[in-house]
Amino acid sequence: MTQASAIHTSSTTPPKADATMPHLAAKATLRFAVMLPVIAAILFLPAGTVRWWQGWALLAVYVIAGLAAFLYFLKTDPQLVGRRLPAKEQVHQQKQIIRLGYLLFAALPTLPGFDFRFGWSRHWLGAEPTWLEVFSLAMVPLAVLAVAWVLWTNRYAGRTIRVEKGQPVISSGPYRLVRHPMYAFSLLMFIFVPLALGSYSTLPAFALTLLFYVPRILNEEKTLRAELPGYTAYCEKTRWRMMPGMW
């Protein structure tokens, strides 16, 4: 969930939407078809059952919000969709961080399933209130749509660290508040995931995502200061990286 990168490309001329849209749609659909059963397996295999309404509800709201955002950008800005598809990092340090990220984001969502199976939250803290589960479920798609707001504001946002030729520094919208709003909203989503799954005893474990976000951001900023003109001045103006008032 990167907003820019350090590898210059030779051109920023966007391909024609009618020429790229079918290819992008097919490629993204294939990725979605692969990822959906993977996400379902991460949730339900640890739970040991599919009779878990919180798991189905979370999967539904996440997929619906993500699919809505994808279809919107596919129609309005297919070049942005193309930027979001490549996932191979070119910066060596980021490759190591990404490997850690894959491990964390695959392992942590399994914990609520194990909690559902073995009853950790029920035994230690008592059943989580239904209102908190429903509220947290509502916050997950809102966080997904907030990430879409970031993408709408910064059409150069890619999954890898890249700075394209002629790329400007974005300082409007959510970038007025923090330098890395995409990471901030994705972290917010991960905070609500265990709560949406009725597993507030596993919530502290999700703080381990900071082991990914913090080094990712620090290394990214080092690259952007060196490669993106005006980024240092933006950092001086916008103090907080990810959490206003904290960091």
Residue at 145 is within a domain? yes
Q: Is residue 3 part of a domain?
A: no
Q: Tell me which residue range forms the domain holding 43.
A: 17-237
Number of domains in the chain: 1
SS3 162: strand
DSSP string, 208-239: GGHHHHHHHHHHHHHHHHHHSTTHHHHHHHS-
In a domain, 242, yes or no: no
The C-alpha atoms of residue 190 and residue 41 are separated, in whole angstroms, by 18
Tell me whether residue 7 is in a domain: no
Is the dihedral angle over the CA atoms 96, 98, 100, 103 positive or is it negative? negative
Residue 5 included in any domain: no
Query: Using only C-alpha atoms, what is the Rg of the chain?
Result: 19
**Mean pLDDT, 10 residues at a time, over the chain (247 residues)?**
37 42 74 87 96 96 90 84 69 79 92 96 90 96 94 80 78 93 93 95 93 90 88 93 89
CA 214 to centroid of chain Cα atoms: 14
Task: Name the nearest CA neighbour of 109 among 29, 50, 160, 38.
Answer: 38
Q: Is residue 4 part of a domain?
A: no
Contact 126, 120 (CB under 8 A): no
Residue 29 lies inside a defined structural domain of this protein: yes
How much is the pLDDT for 30? Answer: 82
Q: Residues 174, 179, 182, 188: is their CA dihedral positive or negative?
A: negative
Q: How far apart are CA 47 and CA 113, in angstroms?
A: 4
Place of tokens 């590898």: 7
Query: How far is the C-alpha of 66 from the C-alpha of 189, rounded, in Å?
Result: 13
Evaluate whether residue 223 is within a structural domain. yes
Return the SS3 of 164: coil
pTM: 0.83
Place of tokens 């930027």: 83
What CATH number should be reported for the domain holding residue 203? 1.20.120.1630
Q: Environment class of residue 210 by beta-carbon count within 10 Å: exposed (0-12), middle (13-18) or buried (19+)?
A: middle
